[in-house]
Amino acid sequence: MSEISFKKLFEPYTKDGHSVESAHKYLSKTALQSGLYPETVALAMQNIFSEVQNGKKFPTDNCPCGCGIDKAGTAIIHAMRDRMFEIDSKMRSSAVDEINKQFNIAMKKKGFFKRMFG
């Protein structure tokens, strides 16, 4: 999906001044401040825009997260933000699983502690 189609899909949410660019800027800043993997921004946007492309609609009069910001683009942007946190959590969990797997493999090798601390 190209940036042009992102803009087209985001069009219904622009009446209060939101844009794909401002959403990306907000999401990138949030990711940086929260210590999320930078890749989560693009993945979350892609994921939410895929849902929009498949017919999902986000409210334009109120945000269901309860933030009280009732602008046209808030709900979709907050959905992207929440998806970023979900993706980051899954990425970190996968990384921990892989580290544990590799550690267990190393532990089973004969002489691991001797080589490590010997």
Q: Measured between alpha carbons, how far is 28 from 95 in angstroms, rounded to an integer?
A: 22
Task: Give pTM, 2 decimals.
Answer: 0.78
Mean pLDDT across the stretch 74-78? 95
Label residue 52 by pLDDT band (50, 70, 90). very high
What radius of gyration, in Å, describes the C-alpha atoms of the chain? 20
pLDDT at 84 over 70: yes
Mean pLDDT across the stretch 69-98? 90
Burial class (CB in 10 A: 0-12, 13-18, 19+), 77: buried
